[in-house]
Structure 1
Amino acid sequence: MLRRKPIPTGWKAEADTGLKRNITTVQLASFGIGSTIGTGIFFVMAEAVPEAGPSVIISFVFAGIAAGLAALCYAEMASSVPVSGSTYSYAYATLGEFAGMAVAGCLLLEYGVSTAAVSVGWSGYLNELLGDLHIPQIPHALTAAPFDDDPGAINLPAMILVGMCAILLIRGASESARANAIMVFIKIGVLAMFAVIAFTAFNDDNLTPFFADGAHGVTLAAGTIFFSFIGLDTISTAGEEVKDPQRTMPRALIAALITVVLVYVLVSLAAVAAQPSSEFAAQQDAGLAQILNNVTGATWPSLVLSAGAVISIFSVTLVTLYGQTRILFAMGRDGMLPEFFTRVNPRTLTPVNNTIVVAIVVAILAGFIPLDYLADMVSIGTLVAFIVVSLGVIILRRREPDLDRPFRVPLYPLTPILAIAACGYILYGLHWYTFVFFGLWVSAVLVFYLVWGRHHSALNTGRPDPLQAAP
């Protein structure tokens, strides 16, 4: 359970694993931006502004710093262990097989549930945009609430979205990357449009008192806002499909982080300056669109923003679905899952089996199960992954000081220690039952490992690893 997978270095990082290396730095950075700027920025202002007032701008900066500390640790690990699998592969190489499997459970939970939840959000925005032409939901008894005689409804638009993303991923990683880059450009353009229009209503009085609830309000709002930064780690799942991964991945991570922070700060400043802080609490649904309606007195800006939200959420679903398929691929290659998950289509060079399986599971979750109560489950999986990566940086520095590291975390060891502390602080604020459900899920994954995975592990059977093969 403590055996560690050797770290591929030099030419091994470019080994032929069956996947095609054709993703560029810009496309990879767009992956991170696309999976991060999603539903959060369109809703979080209604929750964060009542907590901090105008100083929510500082809260966005603080949350960005916390996410940035983790992103810097990801950048060093990505340059040191440039393979698919994200935190799973990093944990396998630093903490051992048992810990790697536990982290894999965290990632599968994070990507699977978040993809389904985001798909449900896309459904609502799409129907709002279409108006009378909306796609109806199909009544079905399986989705009814307990002890409720009324049937629930199959969320057909959410299932359609998952299917479209799966088809795009099956066609090829480069095609998906190009489509995502276009959607990222559109979503940033829409948010820039919001900022420009909102700034026309800039009022100094709306920024006073700036610290409405003091430092406590800033910290509280930063905890709420932090989850708008979840998604940057998706970049690290593409280690075997990018060109020159040891340099491309750190650059893409940092570029994505800077872009996301700038967009969030700009949007938050424009929003709080355009209307009094007291009005945000009542804008739980499509808050940014309501601000545009109030500023312009017209409906077209909010329609454009809704269209941008539809495109934005589409790209989030696409990238998170991609990330999960690559994690399964890495696990299958290591023997932690059946060989079925390692098969790559010879024409498209994509793991089609993984994409189909993930799409079916996520579509069922999105279509049949209400996912609101699982939001914290996504957060706990992400935070644990952030902590493991930060810890992995410290362990590798001590265990293998001479390892080739094209990117090194600045201010080591302070940066990874602060990243662990920041994530631990946010974990402390989660509900107790979140830890219970999380523990049950990870326990189920570890039971599978003890019963099946450890016996079929590539390290146990001696099966050759393409990343470790001779040139």
Structure 2
Amino acid sequence: MISIGATLGTGIFVVLGEAVPKAGPAVTLSFVIAGLTALFSALSYAELAGTIPVAGSSYSYAYATLGELLAWICGWCLILEYGVSVAAVAVGWGQYLNELLDGTLGATLPGALSAPPGDGGLFNLPALAVVLLAMAFLLGGARESARVNTAMVAVKIIALLLFCGIGVLGVRSGNYAPFMPLGMAGVSGAGATLFFSYIGFDAASTAGEEAKDAQRDLPRAIMLSLVVVTALYVLVAAVAVGARPWRSFTGSEAALAAIMKDVTGQGFWATLLAAGAVVAIASVVLTVLYGQTRILFAMSRDGLVPRVFSRVHPATGAPRANTVIVSLFCGVLAAAVPLGRLADATSIGTLFAFALVNVSVVVLRRTRPTMPRAFRVPLSPLPPVLGFALCLWMMGSLSAVTWAVFAVWMAAGTVFYFVYGFRRSRLATGARTSTEQTRPEK
């Protein structure tokens, strides 16, 4: 439920409107390509999650297999992935909140307070509000957060199935032609953007130290969540582009609600879907924010980021200071940056981290071949190699601006590591301590 909760939401409710203008009706193929890329990486995640069941996701796997420097790079990418995706998800939440308010109260929030600068607004207040709401649940501890998330996941699946059941009534065969109006380049470009939709299937791996039987359950959770999410994504996308001409998706961040209104001619169904989307997207914020705090917890425990991120509350076991700091940062980011830029920045950080996970599987198979594994990637090393290649291919489909942002982010991370983490890490301090113990007394 954590993995489905972190994955199923913004990609189909919001980012679909960003991807359809790039690929046309072939956006369904884009979902499949992004899903296959995620699948190969998911196999690697499943093996590592069952072998190294600790908090920290791919950061911890890289630390155990590739060393501290590459682990830092992976963790820095995960901070970009989780932190920025929380902000992107929160932006989409505000769009559906307006749909809900319009359908129930006949009023919407002022544009200046419901959109970031660059999208016609001054400050996205709903985006900040949903992050702070998720923060309140997380401060109660993992068990309480998981219960809330489970209820939200049920609501979002029902909402998407409801859309398919009603939306199919408006499907017109002419809307699928031409199927690939912008060619394969458009399909791959949309796939790179839509990879954002699959971010989160690895969220279960951040809970490695809070699961009852991590070695058995983490691989199952990762694979099952990916299958469920991919099936729903392709089904919903096929209905959406069949019920509405692909060109009309441009600039539509609440496309599914608009389709419901067009098909039925009534606002009730669109309002009902908007209510489901509000719950669905809020659960993504909750679970992704949870993952971000656990990754920083693992990095802090290794000394690579300040110790404040690994302090836990004695009653709830939650890293409270960590949760508050991360939530405030993500909330402000969500309120100030447009969705498209956030989605692409998230995708490139995720793809880079996934590429390292695929490498980690191959390295660990060679360095520790006899290590007990609850799950083994079949036909290895072929799937990890394909996963690595697909990640690089999709990274190459992203814009030059996104690459520039990524380069700046990585440069800042490298500086931070050598100025702070390299000197204070567990490996560095451990090495110094052991050296000092071997010195003779004066």
> TM-score w.r.t. structure 2 length?
0.89
User: Could you say if the C-alpha distance between residues 404 and 305 of structure 1 is closer, same or farther in structure 2, counting changes exceeding 3 Å?
Assistant: same
Summarize the alignment of residues 401-412 of structure 1 with structure 2, pairs less than 5 Å apart: 401-412=369-380
Do residues 381 (structure 1) and 349 (structure 2) align?
yes
Give the deviation of 1:459 after TM superposition: 2.4
1:246 to 209, 215, 218: 215
Aligned counterpart, 1:176: 145
Contact 1:138–1:156 at 8 Å: present in 2 too? no
1:396 to 357, 364, 374: 364
Aligned counterpart, 1:97: 68
Summarize the alignment of residues 64-83 of structure 1 with structure 2, pairs less than 5 Å apart: 64-83=35-54
1:326 to 294, 305, 308: 294
Summarize the alignment of residues 162-241 of structure 1 with structure 2, pairs less than 5 Å apart: 162-207=131-176, 210=179, 218-241=187-210
In 2, distance between residues paired with 1:52 and 1:136? 32
Contact 1:280–1:287 at 8 Å: present in 2 too? no
Aligned counterpart, 1:420: 388
Which SS does the other structure have where 2:373 is aligned?
coil
Which SS does the other structure have where 1:183 is aligned?
helix
Do residues 119 (structure 1) and 95 (structure 2) align?
no
Post-superposition CA distance 1:312-341 (Å, at most 9, x none): 111111111111111111111111123222
Give the letter for the 2:58 counterpart: T
Which SS does the other structure have where 2:122 is aligned?
strand
Q: CA RMSD in A?
A: 2.6
Contact 2:32–2:230 at 8 Å: present in 1 too? yes
Post-superposition CA distance 1:86-128 (Å, at most 9, x none): 1111111111111111111111111112212222221232133
In terms of fraction of residues, the more helix-rich structure is 2
Give the letter for the 2:274 counterpart: S
> TM-score w.r.t. structure 1 length?
0.83
Contact 1:108–1:324 at 8 Å: present in 2 too? yes
2:126 to 157, 161, 166: 157
Give the deviation of 1:285 after TM superposition: 3.6
Unaligned 5+ runs, structure 1: 1-29, 464-471
Summarize the alignment of residues 140-155 of structure 1 with structure 2, pairs less than 5 Å apart: 153-155=122-124
Do residues 269 (structure 1) and 238 (structure 2) align?
yes
Do residues 88 (structure 1) and 59 (structure 2) align?
yes
Give the deviation of 1:309 after TM superposition: 1.4
Do residues 336 (structure 1) and 304 (structure 2) align?
yes
Which SS does the other structure have where 1:200 is aligned?
helix
In 2, distance between residues paired with 1:282 and 1:216? 18
In 2, distance between residues paired with 1:338 and 1:226? 31
Post-superposition CA distance 1:232-279 (Å, at most 9, x none): 12221111111111111100001100100110122123223334x455
In 2, distance between residues paired with 1:410 and 1:122? 39
In 2, distance between residues paired with 1:113 and 1:162? 12
Greater CA drift, 235-244 or 223-232: 223-232
In 1, distance between residues paired with 2:222 and 2:97? 30
Summarize the alignment of residues 451-466 of structure 1 with structure 2, pairs less than 5 Å apart: 451-462=419-430
User: Could you say if the C-alpha distance between residues 415 and 119 of structure 1 is closer, same or farther in structure 2, counting changes exceeding 3 Å?
Assistant: same
| % identical equivalent positions | 49
Do residues 58 (structure 1) and 58 (structure 2) align?
no
Contact 1:45–1:280 at 8 Å: present in 2 too? no
In 2, distance between residues paired with 1:53 and 1:368? 29
Greater CA drift, 341-350 or 365-374: 365-374
Unaligned 5+ runs, structure 2: 432-442
Contact 1:122–1:310 at 8 Å: present in 2 too? yes
In 2, distance between residues paired with 1:109 and 1:398? 30
